[in-house]
Amino acid sequence: MSSSLVQKYNVPGPRYTSYPTVPFWDESTFSVGGWESSLHKSFDENNGELSLYIHLPYCESLCTFCGCHKRITKRHEVESPYIDTVLSEWKLYCDLFDGTPKIKEIHLGGGTPTFFSPENLKKLIDGIFKLAEHADDYEFSFEGHPNNTTKEHLQTLYDLGFRRVSYGVQDYNPTIQKAIHRIQPFENVKRATDQAREIGYTSISHDLIFGLPFQKMEHVVDSINKTLLLMPERIAFYSYAHVPWIKGNGQRGFDENDIPKGDEKRALYETGKKLLEELNYIEIGMDHFALESDSLSVALKNNELHRNFMGYTTQKTNLMIGLGASSISDSWYAFAQNAKGIDEYTKLVNAGTIPVYRGHLLNSQDLIIRKHILNLMCNLRTSWEESSNYFEELPKVLSSLKEFANDGLIEFKENELVIVEEGRPFVRNICMAFDMYLLKKKPDTQLFSMTV
């Protein structure tokens, strides 16, 4: 990859798990009533099928690379009351729906879902299905910490229908692990992976991060080679998002000079990608790889890949309910985020109120641009052949993209834009050209991580 292109395009930019992105939500037009109306519309259009993201925010220790909402504690008596609150929130949603929800997807995220005991996780999932049914083709997944995911966790969740597990690995080098406060030996990851396979999990994912403090090329190569000994079906190879300005994320435990940047950082990804592709992993969208046999690769091949706040998924549901403190929900027509603090979240639910504190109601242009950005993030192409995909500023957007074409990163075809292989690293930048909110109101301070 050209060094000059990295320098040119390496600017702060969104990861586009939503459009509009959270900093540009119009809270002045948002209301809980408007959110509930959008839920009714989406529930009916999707025949009652939906996805559930459940945020389980507790961790026993703070990982200093993490920008997620969490609470650090070793007091496990918090588990049961929190699950009771999540189930009460779920009932508030079910009372809104005209019919029984059919759940197509569940993802347990965090925090650390395996902070919770197998018994309490069973209580959670059983409680969800007291008010819901399984969709015909469902997929359940959870994030597991290799150090505390037990065979009992894996068996309990497997018996409840879970077939996918994702383990956060990040990097195996001891110096890097110490810097990010995430000490876990390869043996723990191997044990958790082998146990999942023995039980019958069909898709195991490992999360790796490039661009971590003190990380060198040999560290990335070693971590990927160790990962390839276990051959997980999916690998997420994320760019470290250095966002120390976000409150409570802990990203101040190392010096800025300790973090690889620009060309050096991108070289870590390109080397890792080469190693993965040599063993037949297929690059999926941005930062993801999967074996050809995995459902994510199949969805890519069939143009059925979807992306939401949970990342890339094979389950294309337009209604996603986020349960738990800080969770974000998506009705396709609106976004809503729950209160971030556990105490405030609990107080709202106990008062019988859906605990959202902000959101955005999408207008007609938002919906069109959202489709274009989804197309680019999932399929590396988008089209405006149909009039329904045209919006007023499109000619201006296409004109601004000519520079990407001149740099050999995209191609224009008749009523279509295609990101070529050389343009993959810059997919976020290309999406930014469609982002009317970002173009009309450049942020005064840095809100996003660097794009490359």
pLDDT digits (tens, 9 = 90+) for 320-374: 999 999 999 999 999 999 999 999 999 999 999 999 999 999 999 999 999 999 9
66 band by pLDDT with thresholds 50, 70 and 90: low
Q: Residue 225's CB: how many other CB atoms inside 10 A?
A: 11
pLDDT at 15: 87
81-87: long-range contacts (C-beta < 8 A, 24 or more apart)? 81/346, 82/56, 82/57, 82/58, 82/324, 82/342, 82/346, 83/116, 83/120, 83/123, 83/124, 83/127, 85/345, 85/346, 85/349, 85/350, 86/54, 86/124, 86/323, 86/324, 87/124, 87/127, 87/128
Rounded Cα distance, 398 and 414, in Å: 12
Q: Give percent of the chain above pLDDT 70.
A: 94
CA atoms within 13 A on the CB side of 2: 12
Task: Report whether 409 contacts 426 (CB < 8 A).
Answer: yes
pLDDT at 256: 76
Rounded Cα distance, 442 and 294, in Å: 40
In the numeric block, which tokens belong to residue 63? 């990982």
> Has residue 250 got a pLDDT over 60?
no
Helix, strand counts (H, E) of the chain: 16, 19
**Of 137, 152, 145, which Cα lies nearest the Cα of 62?**
145
Output the CA angle 83-119-313, nearest 5 degrees. 65
Q: Could you tell me the end-to-end alpha-carbon distance of the chain, in angstroms, rounded to an integer?
A: 11
Work out the angle between the directed axes of helices 79-96 and 32-45 (0-180°, nearest 10): 70
* pTM exceeding the 0.85 threshold for the entire prediction: yes
Mean pLDDT across 182-198 = 96
Q: Residue 15's CB: how many other CB atoms inside 10 A?
A: 20
Task: Report whether 279 contacts 228 (CB < 8 A).
Answer: yes
Task: Report whether 167 contacts 144 (CB < 8 A).
Answer: yes
> Has residue 253 got a pLDDT over 80?
no
In the numeric block, which tokens belong to residue 65? 């690379």
Alpha carbon 21 to chain centroid distance? 13
* Torsion of the alpha carbons at 245, 55, 106 and 207, rounded to the nearest 10: 50
The model's pLDDT over 260-297, given as tens digits with 9 standing for 90+, comes to 888 888 899 999 999 999 999 999 988 899 999 999 99
Task: Report whether 284 contacts 300 (CB < 8 A).
Answer: yes
> Has residue 247 got a pLDDT over 60?
no
Instruction: Return the bridge partners of 337, or none.
Output: 328, 358
Longest dimension (CA), the chain: 60
Rounded Cα distance, 33 and 188, in Å: 47
The model's pLDDT over 81-102, given as tens digits with 9 standing for 90+, comes to 999 999 999 999 999 999 999 9
Which amino acid is located at 335 in the chain? F
Tell me the pLDDT of the chain averaged across its residues: 91
Counting every residue written for the chain, the total comes to 452
Alpha helices in 249-314 (DSSP H): 262-278, 295-301
- As to burial, measured by CB atoms within 10 angstroms (0-12 exposed, 13-18 middle, 19+ buried), residue 301 is exposed
> Has residue 436 got a pLDDT over 60?
yes
Task: Report whether 338 contacts 324 (CB < 8 A).
Answer: yes
Contacts for 208 with CB less than 8 Å, ≥ 6 apart: 169, 170, 171, 220, 223, 224, 227, 235, 236, 237, 238, 272
In the numeric block, which tokens belong to residue 306? 């979807």
Rounded Cα distance, 368 and 373, in Å: 9
Mean pLDDT across 185-203 = 97
**Of 362, 443, 444, 437, which Cα lies nearest the Cα of 393?**
437
pLDDT at 435: 96
Rounded Cα distance, 108 and 54, in Å: 5
> Has residue 245 got a pLDDT over 70?
no
